């Protein structure tokens, strides 16, 4: 479902199981130009259970080559025109999630994927909307945790 509660449940489960993870967020709403694929920069990062993720230039950076579970939540201003799209920019815009604008209230979008990320690699988002005008992202959260080491 397209709900922040899904991401909150995942965060709670990781915390209860003492898994190392981090949550990167947006501290203030950010405007997106109509029909422009925008590299979206997060502003805050919190590590949990001694995790060592870093936020560098708005992108989450990992220290080790591994498979990572990445969950994203984005909430757009209310506007019932067009689509909303989010993608992981590091993988030629794949995977990608596209939803139609909500008829009422904010449009909310969630995406979850397991990604191979090399040491010192980053996770960054590209976000796009085509509402016909500039539109704000009210909230954005990215949760990341390592799920498997890679044999190197």
- Work out the pLDDT band at 152, boundaries 50, 70, 90: low
Each residue of 27-80: pLDDT tens digit? 999 999 999 999 889 999 999 999 999 999 999 999 999 999 999 999 999 999
Range in 9-18, 50-59, 134-143 the model is least confident about: 9-18
Average pLDDT, integer, range 7-16:
73
Q: How far apart are CA 123 and CA 54, in angstroms?
A: 11
CA distances from 77 to 16, 39, 62, 115, 133 (A): 33, 18, 31, 29, 11
pLDDT of residue 91: 59
pLDDT of residue 1: 46
Percent of the chain with pLDDT over 90: 69
- Beta-strand (E) ranges in 3-150? 21-25, 30-32, 38-40, 44-48, 54-56, 59-61, 66-76, 83-88, 96-100, 107-117, 122-123, 125-129, 135-149
pLDDT for residue 130: 96
How far is residue 4's CA from residue 141's CA, in Å, rounded to a whole number? Answer: 9
151 band by pLDDT with thresholds 50, 70 and 90? confident
Supply the pTM of this predicted model. 0.88
Instruction: State residue 88's pLDDT score.
Output: 85
Evaluate if residue 119 carries a pLDDT over 50: yes
Residue 94: which pLDDT band, with cuts at 50, 70 and 90? low
């Amino acid at each position: 479902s397209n709900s922040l509660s899904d991401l909150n449940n995942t965060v709670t489960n990781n915390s209860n199981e003492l898994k190392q993870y981090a949550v990167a967020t947006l501290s203030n709403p950010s405007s997106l130009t109509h029909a422009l694929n925008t590299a979206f920069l997060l502003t805050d990062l919190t590590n949990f259970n001694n995790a060592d993720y870093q936020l560098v230039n708005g992108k989450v950076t990992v220290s080790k080559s591994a498979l990572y579970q990445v969950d994203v939540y984005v909430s757009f201003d209310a506007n019932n025109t067009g689509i909303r799209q989010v993608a992981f920019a590091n993988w030629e815009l794949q995977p990608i999630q596209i939803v139609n604008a909500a008829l009422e209230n904010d449009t909310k979008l969630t995406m979850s994927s397991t990604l191979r990320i090399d040491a010192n690699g980053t996770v960054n988002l590209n976000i796009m909307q085509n509402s016909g005008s500039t539109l704000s992202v009210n909230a954005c959260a990215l949760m990341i945790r390592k799920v498997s080491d890679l044999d190197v």
